[in-house]
Amino acid sequence: AEDPLIKQVVDGAEGEALTDHHHFSIFKRKFGKSYASQEEHDHRFKVFRANLRRARRHQKLDPSAVHGVTQFSDLTPSEFRRTYLGLRSKLRLPKDATQAPILPTDS
Amino acid sequence: LPADFDWRDHGAVTGVKNQGSCGSCWSFSTTGALEGANFLATEKLVSLSEQQLVDCDHECDPEEPGSCDSGCNGGLMNSAFEYTLKAGGLMREEDYPYTGTDRGACKFDKSKIAASVANFSVVTLDEDQIAANLVKNGPLAIAINAVFMQTYVGGVSCPYICSRRLDHGVLLVGYGSAGYSAVRMKEKPYWIIKNSWGESWGDGGYYKICRGRNICGVDSMVSTVAAVQTSS
């Protein structure tokens, strides 16, 4: 379960906070992120830390993929859904949509 | 059916695009499917305009008032195909570039249509049928639940549990036969999905998700479109 990318250099919660700070600095530099105020910065850091924990949970739930920091790591799940998705999930066929014909799959 | 298939190898897929901070995934899924269908019809790969859909497509669900395509506030690929059918087609990306906002007026120019929809249909949930339609008709517009995509960096996603509530429109461009799944300690077949969050996200802008169990609803809403040849 030890994430090979994160080397624990000090013990305990303080060490983890230090590591998350380090990750957040790399994240801001890589994705060109900047925040209008210290307050906003602190809020985004808190969201970022929560998303690091989510990434670790996703990694456990989805071990054949690689989960980690993406450009969306400073967004809450609802901000992410509201801003970067956009599907109106109405499973209803418009008038002109027909059912695709069944195709042969055995040859 | 071939064991592995990827429309990118056949030149039917444009480069990964970026929808930015706008809920317009549905328009990228729509243009991707029509770009592929138009390639099959004309052997020319033309990048089509999502902004035309964002600005001009307000097609509503005939049976559900208020459920309309609404620019950055969301839409549905099937409705977008319906709009494209009625409008006559989509313009080129370069003639109607993407801005990622939906405050502009519709600037659709009928004389500059680059691709038109002949018809579109919905593919059943059966994965073999989905694969057959993909191989025969080109990339498919699909919907998925994006919960794991916010933290996805690479590999083949095969989560134990994943909601099938669909919230994101993407493009199915191919499938592979052997993505290794550590937890299942065996090779698993997977779908290859083109996303619209730029090349720096995921696997070069793509998402791979394993086949077989309608994971994250990936098989639930699949549409195929046929294009007519237009000259512009």
The minimal CB distance from A58 to the residues B19, B148, B200 is found for B148
Per-residue pLDDT averaged across B42-64, rounded? Answer: 92
Gap from A43 CA to chain B (nearest CA, Å)? 19
pLDDT digits (tens, 9 = 90+) for B192-203: 999 999 999 999
pLDDT for B127? 92
Model confidence at B178: pLDDT above 80: no
Eight-class DSSP state of B96: S
Q: Which of A6-10, B90-94, B168-172 has the lowest mean pLDDT?
A: A6-10
Residue B232: per-residue pLDDT: 46
Over residues B150-167, the mean pLDDT reads 94
pLDDT over 80 (residue A11): no
Contact A96 B123 (CB under 8 A): no
Mean pLDDT of B34-63: 94
Torsion of CA B51, B53, B54, B55, to 10 degrees: 90
Which residues, including other chains, have CB under 8 Å from residue B202's CB and lie 6 or more apart? A70, B149, B152, B153, B154, B195
- B161 vs A contacts (CB less than 8 Å): 61
Scanning B104-123 for CB atoms below 8 A from A yields 119-123
Q: How confident is the model at residue B215 (pLDDT cuts 50, 70, 90)?
A: very high
Chain centroid, CA B217 distance in Å: 14
Confidence of residue A58 (pLDDT cuts 50, 70, 90): very high
Residue A15 is predicted with a pLDDT of 58
pLDDT for the residue B62: 74
pLDDT of residue B28: 98
Which residues of B fall within a CB distance of 8 Å from A86? 19, 22-26, 72-75, 168-169
Q: Quick one: average pLDDT of A71-82?
A: 96
**pLDDT for position B228:** 84
The Cβ-side half-sphere exposure at A91, using a 13 Å CA radius, reads 16
Per-residue pLDDT at A88: 85
Minimal-distance CA residue of chain A relative to B141: A87
Task: Please tell me whether residue A28 adopts helix, strand or coil conformation.
Answer: helix
Q: How confident is the model at residue B185 (pLDDT cuts 50, 70, 90)?
A: low
Here the tokens at position B69 are: 């395509």
Cβ-nearest to B152 among A67, A91, A94: A67
Average pLDDT, chain B: 92
Q: Is 50 exceeded by the pLDDT of residue B103?
A: yes
Looking at residue B109, its pLDDT comes to 97
Q: Between A51, A66, A86, which is nearest B153 by CB?
A: A66
Quick check: B104 pLDDT over 70? Answer: yes
